[in-house]
Every structure is written in C-alpha cells, then in structure tokens.
Amino acid sequence: MMTSKHWLIVLLVLASVSVLAFAAQKGNAPATAPTTKTLAAAKHPLEQQDEGQRVFQQHCSRCHASPEGFSPRISGTILRHMRVRASLSQHDEEALLHFFNP
C-alpha cells in the first residue's frame, strides 16, 4: 500500500513539475515566428486557420510531435483515424481539415 511517505514523494514530484511548467509558461512568449503554417494562413481565412491550429495544439500535440508534411491525398484518412483515436468532435474534424488543406 502507499504510505504517507510515498504520497509525500508523489506530491513533491508533482509540485516540482508544476513549478517547472509555470516557469516554462512564463519564460516563453507565444510562438510568433513565421512558420509554414502561419505563412499559409496569410493566404486564407484567418479564423479557420486559427481554429484549426488551436484544435491541432489541443488534440494532436498532446500525444505526438507534428509530422513535417504529408500528401493531401491522405489528409482525410488521417482525420478519420484520429477521429477515433483522439475522440475528435465533428467541429474539431472540420477545423483540422481546413488546417491540413488551407
């Protein structure tokens, strides 16, 4: 069974990690460097791009790093796959589709 000593260790680890996270949050300004994504966004409706990027950050980046690119032929299939894996809502799916294919 977990003793009070063990719980103390858990709490200390969680506290340390939380401090690190807040420090990281404070130390990093929002990413504003132009990327392929933001350059592409300049040519298309900003709202759709922003929403797609938000959904990508919230649902995809939670688990894995971003792939460096893929064919538009499979973007619909990727969404079908991730709809199941990440329990995407219909709205998320549509936003990501715009994000993948600006």
Partner 1 sequence: MTVGVFAPAQSGFAQQTPLISGGAGFLTYTSGGNTTYYPILEPLLAAPLGKKILVESRADLLESFSPKGAGQSGYDHSHFVGLTFLQGDYDVSPHLTIVGGEYLLPFNTYNERLTPIWIGNFQDAPLIFSLGLLSSSSGLGGMVRGNAIERNKYSISYNYFYSTRSATEQFTSHRGNGGRVSLYLPEQRLEAGFSFDRLLQGTHENFFGAHVWWEPKDTAFRLRSEFGHGQHAEGYWVEADYRTLAFGGLDSIIGRIEPVLRIQQTFRLDTIASDGLPLTNTERADFGFDYNLPHNTRIITSYARQFSSTGNQNVWETGIVYHFLFPAWKGKE
Distances (CA, A) of 27 to 20, 31, 77, 97: 10, 12, 37, 32
Nearer to partner 1, 36 or 46 (CB): 36
Shortest Å, Cβ 41 to partner 1: 10
The H or E element that residue 82 is part of is helix 75-85
Shortest Å, Cβ 19 to partner 1: 11
- Reported as half-sphere exposure (CB side, CA atoms, 13 A), residue 57 has a value of 9
Query: How far apart are alpha carbons 41 and 9 in whole angstroms?
Result: 46
Shortest Å, Cβ 47 to partner 1: 15
Q: Which residues lie near partner 1 (CB under 8 A)?
A: 1-2, 6, 9-10, 13-14, 17-18, 20-22, 24-25, 27-31, 33, 35-37, 40, 53-54, 56-58, 61-81, 83-85, 87-92, 97, 99-102
